[in-house]
Amino acid sequence: MRNIDVHKLIDGAKFNRFHWQVLFWCALIIIFDGYDLVIYGVVLPVLMKEWGLTPIQAGTLGSYALFGMMFGALIFGPMSDRFGRKKVIALCVILFSLFTFLNGFARDVTEFAVCRFLAGLGIGGVMPNVVALMTEYSPKKLRTTLVAIMFSGYSVGGMLSAGLGMYLIPAYGWSSVFFVAGLPLLLLPAILYLLPESIGFLLHAKRDQEAAILLSRVEGSFVPQPGDRYDFPTGKTGHVPLVALFKHGRALSTVMFWLAFFMCLLMVYALASWLPKLMTQAGYGLGSSLSFLLVLNLGAIFGAVGGGVVADRLHLKTVLMIFFVIGSVSISLLGYKSPTSVLYVLVALAGATTIGSQILLYAYAAQFYPMAIRSTGIGWASGVGRSGAILGPIVGGTLLAMAMPLHFNFLFFAIPGAIAAFAVSLIARNALHAPDEEEPLAFAGEIGVVTE
């Protein structure tokens, strides 16, 4: 009889075909997720004109999906700890794909808002689950990089949304970009078949044989034997998962995670919703304004992947603080008259350090909390942060309605970045863990260090 240290086996595994498979499907799901989320900012200038929406009405309408995302993260994050990540991920894909597709048939604001809210449930619910799944299967030395690459799919989806909008909306109307969102439903059987289930969930459900097969794919040199015992947390803790987020010295860090998520998401969704409209008011045409949204998401890819690579060598905390400061400065400068090339650089920097920071925050939370409460920790940080995302479009609409100078709008969007940098500075560099929880995941720059 052997005792198999599952964490050690996964941490020391060499990146192989199995990891590519997990990365591909998780990233693809996030691409669909990002497309469905960013789509509102793409159609906003047209909707405001066609339906005669005021800025405040448009901002409020944009927040319905974000309300759904908040509830989705709070509901589906903890749910996967009980019912398995794969089933919950599939359910979320159905929700956000189906209702975004149906959004194209909306005839008025009410129907549009209902569809956006229901789609938001799936958009918000899938994020903490794919982050937790990718984190669980990633080798230790590549963990942050792989999560960042996976989550950069959000920006790829945003680019697809903006790029398709530039061609489809003038030719076929705003509904056409929503119809494209139904494509993931065709891939659902493949997702259910090829996406692996969580090792922790399988062991907790006493499905050791399935877990053993997956472990042999994670590490090719591992050959399961009859009678193997797997040393891995089963999800049991001495506390209710939500309560456990505040135990063992985690209370301040948990609250600061929530504040950082709140401020970061406020910046991200204020920009994603209002950047095309603000640039239209600054004198750019619809196509040029949407190109700024495309550049914003392109910058986010480089920020997420580059930040992940750097964070695998430095501490995530340090990288996040630097990113938030750069994000605040670049956004505040967007409101001043500059050559178009300079504006593109600033927008790219803003995308790299705001959307990129959001992705790195997910990676930080995933590494901070033990497996038993990981989805709960990520889900609640994301869920509480969604209130910032909800406020983003509303704040942007309110500022626009006040008809202030353009640079004041961007200055207000930049302030949350400074607050987020302060919040991250108060998060503990290492998490303390109870005896019935697994040892914390090592952070970059601290490989091999175990905190008691």
Residues 58-86 have pLDDT tens digits of: 888 888 888 888 788 778 877 877 788 88
DSSP assignment, residue 282?
T
Sequential DSSP letters for 396-423 = HHHHHHTT--HHHHHHHHHHHHHHHHHH
pLDDT, position 338: 75
Taking residues 173-194, report their average pLDDT.
90
- Compute CA distances 327 → 281, 346, 354, whole Å: 23, 9, 6
Which has more pLDDT, 231 or 323? 323
Site of tokens 């956000």: 96
Taking residues 335-343, report their average pLDDT.
80
Taking residues 144-165, report their average pLDDT.
83
Query: Is 56 a residue whose pLDDT tops 90?
Result: no
Angle, CA 23 vertex, CA 26 and CA 37 arms, to 5°? 35
pLDDT, position 111: 92
Q: How far is CA 15 from the centre of its chain?
A: 23
pLDDT in tens, 381-409: 877 887 888 888 888 788 878 877 777 88
Residue 452: pLDDT band by 50, 70, 90 thresholds?
Answer: very low
Query: Is 227 a residue whose pLDDT tops 80?
Result: no
Taking residues 233-257, report their average pLDDT.
73
The one-letter code for the residue type at 221 is S
pLDDT, position 288: 64
Q: How far is CA 131 from the centre of its chain?
A: 8
Query: Is 444 a residue whose pLDDT tops 50?
Result: no
pLDDT, position 105: 92
Q: Percentage helix, strand, coil, to 5, in the chain?
A: 75, 0, 20
Nearest Cα to 406, choosing from 317, 312, 331, 342?
A: 331
pLDDT, position 233: 55
Query: Is 99 a residue whose pLDDT tops 90?
Result: yes
Task: Provide the CB-side half-sphere exposure for 307 (13 A, CA).
Answer: 36
pLDDT, position 324: 94
Residue 431: pLDDT band by 50, 70, 90 thresholds?
Answer: low
Locate 113 and state its tokens.
């808002």
